Amino acid sequence: MMQLFMPLNFLGFVYREIRAALVNIEQMFGLLATKPKVEDQQNAASLQLDDSTSENNKIEFIDLRFGYQPDREILKGLNFTIESKQTVAIVGGSGAGKSTVARLLLRFYDPTEGKILIGGQNIKDVTQGSLRQAIGIVPQDTVLFNDSIFENIRYGNPDADDSEVQNAINLAHLDEFISQLPNGSDTLVGERGLKLSGGEKQRVAIARALLKRPPIMIFDEATSSLDSHSEAAILEAIEEISGHYTSLVIAHRLSTIVNADVILVLEDGQLVESGSHQELLDKQGMYASLWQRQNQGSSKEKNQRN
Ligand code: ATP
């Protein structure tokens, strides 16, 4: 019996590993819609970060310039720091360069000038594998596999036991949603199963990322409209992440990032303002007008609904 069990167990392990690898790759490319253009240096070292509790996970963007094509610069000299366990949000109009910042942090491209340091190490000098292992991504759109919702979440960390998966479900505020499904957490989702809304999918992505427990989190907030329940859950999930991980939030809804430690306002590849929500409102600059515009938009939406 044991002889039979061992290979099956091993095959199961290989299967889970492959699925997890696929999810990670899919998440990165799904979020970033791009292919890696960089190679590891010969003898590149691994990124040295202890874990999410380390005080040494600060991220520094130093004089960073980048363009996808040589004749069109997208990021025009960025300088900012995300201190260990801080949450920094980037806001700005469409095409300002927000996602490009995330792509460079994951080293899908190298900057044309300047550098990015994590824990004092230039990400150009470390292996891409170790860099991406250290970063959890909550992409805008998550692919779900044709499996139970519980197993879909376990993809974030195939080694996690059931109680860890359950904990991630609770942290991502999926427990109530799951309790209403016909077969609870055994309900099949994905291609041939239940279809989830954009907000529910993003919460699955949050649970997966939380299960991975990386020192660094990139949160790419969904642009598609979210129902108010999902929006509240995502806001709470960002709050949950805050203070535990060094996190970068690419924000489309300003309401979700009012509590970020620092908000960076990006316009045409340059930082035009930075500060806390209140500091930026007091400045009455670009952030304040974005805030006003979004609030007017949402109160109009509410009035139309009523
Ligand atoms: P949004 O809020 O609409 O997602 P964003 O601020 O995230 O916008 P980016 O996706 O970073 O903006 O894009 C910044 C600029 O770079 C845009 O003008 C975009 O057209 C351009 N760009 C993005 N990806 C590529 C690419 N792979 N090749 C060439 N140009 C690109």
What ipTM did this prediction achieve? 0.98
90 vs 302, more confident: 90
Q: How far is the CA of 101 from the centre of ligand 1 (A)?
A: 10
Residue 107 has, within 13 A of its CA and on its CB side, a CA count of 23
**Atom 28 (ligand 1): residue with closest C-alpha?**
68
**Atom 29 (ligand 1): residue with closest C-alpha?**
68
Q: How far is the CA of 95 from the centre of ligand 1 (A)?
A: 5
Looking at residue 255, what is its pLDDT? 84
**Atom 25 (ligand 1): residue with closest C-alpha?**
68
Taking CB atoms and a 6 Å cutoff, what residues make up the pocket around ligand 1?
A: 34, 68, 74, 92, 94-100
The yes-or-no verdict on residue 207 having pLDDT over 50 is yes
Looking at residue 20, what is its pLDDT? 53
| Per-residue confidence band for 306, with pLDDT thresholds at 50, 70 and 90 | very low
Looking at residue 214, what is its pLDDT? 87
